[in-house]
Structure 1
Amino acid sequence: MNKFLMIMALFSFLSVWNQAQAQTKFKTVNQAKGLSVGEVAPKFNSSDQENRSFNLENTLESGPVVLIFYRGQWCPVCNKHLAAIEQDLDQIYAKGATVVAVSPETSEFLKQTMKKTGASFKLLHDEDYGIAEAYDVAFLSDEASLNAYNERLGANLQEAHSDDSQRLPIPATYIIGQDGIIKWRHFDPDYRKRASVEDIVAALSEL
């Protein structure tokens, strides 16, 4: 019995130690600052909810790109935001722009977002958080928040993402010009604050 208790204590220690290591390895929500207006937008390749390829550089040839980071299909605020984008999507398209939304979730979960929001634009899988890291929006939540996401909201982050670090993106929105430069951004660590369609259209009108 003592040996069993020692093993359980070891597992508990390793769990706490791994969490501490992750917290020091990855940025917190307040450490992620996001790329600024005027910076070169990192180019990337990805795949959408139907596993079709997407290339940012090629897409910019036809007009500016509205790049939206969202947390996942489990996030009610994200779903409300993407549904609002979809509702007035024609206003954005009228400015010649393409809309894409990026999440660390795999295609199975991207399809759930599509069903919940009615999104007709591309939902992209951010494998290994490469896109979020490039735009400096990736962070690791505290343990209490992660427990809430996984247990109360059914996020299943370790299953839904490409690794088990459970990082998330700050729900930022970027407008990238055809020259590959960031022209506008909405960046706020408060996940409840999102870019409105009106703000996006106004920013596109100034390009």
Structure 2
Amino acid sequence: MTLTKMLTTALFSVTVAVSLPAMANKTVAESADQVSPLLPGQMIPEVSATNIDGVSQPLANTLAGKPTILFFYRGGWCPFCNTQMGQLQGISDDLKNMGYQLIGISTDNPEDLQKSLKDQELSYQLLSDFDSQVSQAFGLAFFTSQKVTDRYLAKMDLKNPLQKNAAGEERLVLPAPAVYVIDKTGLIQFQYVNPNYKTRLHPDLLIHAAKLAL
């Protein structure tokens, strides 16, 4: 199968897997398969994120008018996320040569981001969305189930603040893993979102999407 056909297939599978949004509304979905992510043709939202030094600034300032690959991952505690981060490091030079900057964002705090950068020897930037405001603005945030919340908190040293869902139950909020290709004006040219956190966009498909977006 050609890369173009693979990309088309990937786009189709994502479209049928998630709810189609009208616009970002800063809400948290009740489950991963109910998220309503921003789509190509929409602008990035006005929201702030925190860098590894603990400094918060508008996301638009961080992108600084540069073509950007922005990917959302759950955290450095997630083995699937770590695999993805390593794969993206492997194509980081290719993306840079095309003029893109690569930025990852998760609910990890700045200290944990620094650990990921060191342990994985990453050359790209990581941002903290500790309170899930960015993932909400992109329509990616969802409540984990009570079972998952309890299991994650018991097995891992997560410092993420719990949030109350519609039923008043305190749950862990995570982002559905996503990849966005954003042009220098802040316009989304491509997105890949999959409620199944074990399935990530193949690096070759991202390279192809990035080329098409130029």
**Per the shorter chain, which TM-score range?**
0.7 to 0.9
Residue 183 of structure 1 aligns to which amino acid in structure 2? Q
Question: What does residue 81 of structure 1 align with?
Answer: 84
Secondary structure at the counterpart of residue 88 of structure 1:
helix
Distance verdict in 2 for CA 1:59–1:115, change over 3 Å: closer
Q: Which moved more, 1:128-137 or 1:110-119?
A: 110-119
- TM-score normalised over the length of structure 2: 0.75
Are 2:56 and 1:50 aligned? no
Distance in structure 2 (CA, Å) of the matches to 1:29 and 1:185: 16
CA contact (8 A) 1:79 1:116 kept: no
Question: What does residue 178 of structure 2 align with?
Answer: 172
- TM-score normalised over the length of structure 1: 0.78
Residue 119 of structure 1 aligns to which amino acid in structure 2? L
Distance in structure 1 (CA, Å) of the matches to 2:125 and 2:109: 13
Question: What does residue 107 of structure 2 align with?
Answer: 104
Matching of residues 1-207 of structure 1 within 5 Å:
26-52=29-55, 55-152=58-155, 154=156, 156-157=157-158, 159=159, 161=160, 163-165=161-163, 166-206=172-212, 207=214
Distance in structure 1 (CA, Å) of the matches to 2:101 and 2:92: 10
Distance verdict in 2 for CA 1:174–1:60, change over 3 Å: same
Question: Which string of whole-angstrom CA distances, capped at 9 and with x for unpartnered residues, describes residues 122-178 of structure 1?
Answer: 1101142110000000001112222332334x1x33x2x2x2232000010111111
Distance verdict in 2 for CA 1:200–1:30, change over 3 Å: same
- The CA deviation at 1:113 is 1.9
Larger Rg: 1
- The CA deviation at 1:46 is 2.1
Distance verdict in 2 for CA 1:83–1:27, change over 3 Å: same
Question: Which string of whole-angstrom CA distances, capped at 9 and with x for unpartnered residues, describes residues 33-84 of structure 1?
Answer: 2111111211433222233555432454552111110111110000010011
Residue 48 of structure 2 aligns to which amino acid in structure 1? N
Distance in structure 2 (CA, Å) of the matches to 1:59 and 1:73: 21
Distance in structure 1 (CA, Å) of the matches to 2:35 and 2:29: 10
Distance verdict in 2 for CA 1:50–1:201, change over 3 Å: same
Secondary structure at the counterpart of residue 30 of structure 1:
helix
CA contact (8 A) 2:29 2:35 kept: no
Q: Which moved more, 1:142-151 or 1:176-185?
A: 142-151
Secondary structure at the counterpart of residue 185 of structure 1:
strand
Distance verdict in 2 for CA 1:115–1:147, change over 3 Å: farther
Distance in structure 1 (CA, Å) of the matches to 2:30 and 2:74: 16
